[in-house]
């Protein structure tokens, strides 16, 4: 009779294999949830920040007036209060007349590459720092 004990190899118990499979599934699922949460959080934060920019730009647009045929603006405190919701950010603005000449603000503020109806969001540089802009 042949020796059959030499052919049998020890294997992990069923309980240990089930625990390993469940731990693997949980780890992979957790990683997927972590990445999805991070991406959703970034998108939500960007949408909120874009809303703040649109609100401030709308407040400023409502404050523009024409006096003696020349456009002017008194920057409303409400615009700066809205922008104050992001206390670590700096504000740079440019208000243009219909002919494209600056009315007030920093004339070096980058302008969007494209126009269009409604707000336009674009990225530009604020000195050496990246910045979110709105038109």
- pLDDT tens, per residue, the chain with 135 residues: 555 556 777 777 888 999 999 999 999 999 999 999 999 999 998 888 888 888 888 888 888 888 888 888 888 888 888 888 877 777 778 888 878 788 888 888 887 777 667 777 888 887 788 877 777
pLDDT reported for residue 41? 95
Instruction: Please choose, from the candidates 116, 120, 114, the residue with its C-alpha nearest in 3D space to the C-alpha of residue 135.
Output: 120
Could you give the angle at the alpha carbon of 95 between the alpha carbons of 90 and 98, nearest 5°? 160
Give the other-Cβ count within 10 Å of 82's Cβ.
20
Query: For position 3, what pLDDT does the model report?
Result: 59
Write down the residue that tokens 């949408």 correspond to: 47
Are the C-beta atoms of residues 77 and 100 closer than 8 Å to each other?
Answer: no
What is the structure's pLDDT at 43? 93
Q: Residue 120: CB partners within 8 Å, gap ≥ 6? A: 112, 114, 134, 135
75: helix, strand or coil? coil
pLDDT at site 8? 73
* Residue linked to tokens 């219909």: 98
* Structure token digits, residue 7: 């052919």
pLDDT at 24: 97
């Amino acid at each position: 009779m042949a020796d059959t004990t030499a052919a049998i190899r020890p294997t992990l118990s069923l309980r240990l294999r089930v625990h390993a499979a469940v731990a693997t599934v949980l780890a992979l699922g957790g990683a997927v949830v972590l990445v999805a949460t991070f991406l959703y959080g970034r998108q939500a934060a960007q949408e909120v920040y874009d809303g703040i920019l649109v609100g401030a730009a709308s407040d400023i647009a409502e404050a523009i007036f024409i006096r003696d045929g020349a456009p002017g603006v008194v920057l409303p405190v409400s615009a700066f209060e809205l922008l104050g919701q992001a206390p670590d950010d700096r504000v740079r603005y440019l208000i243009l007349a219909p002919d494209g000449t600056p009315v007030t603000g920093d004339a070096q503020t980058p302008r969007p590459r494209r126009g269009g109806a409604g707000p336009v969001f674009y990225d530009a540089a604020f000195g050496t720092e990246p910045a979110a802009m709105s038109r």
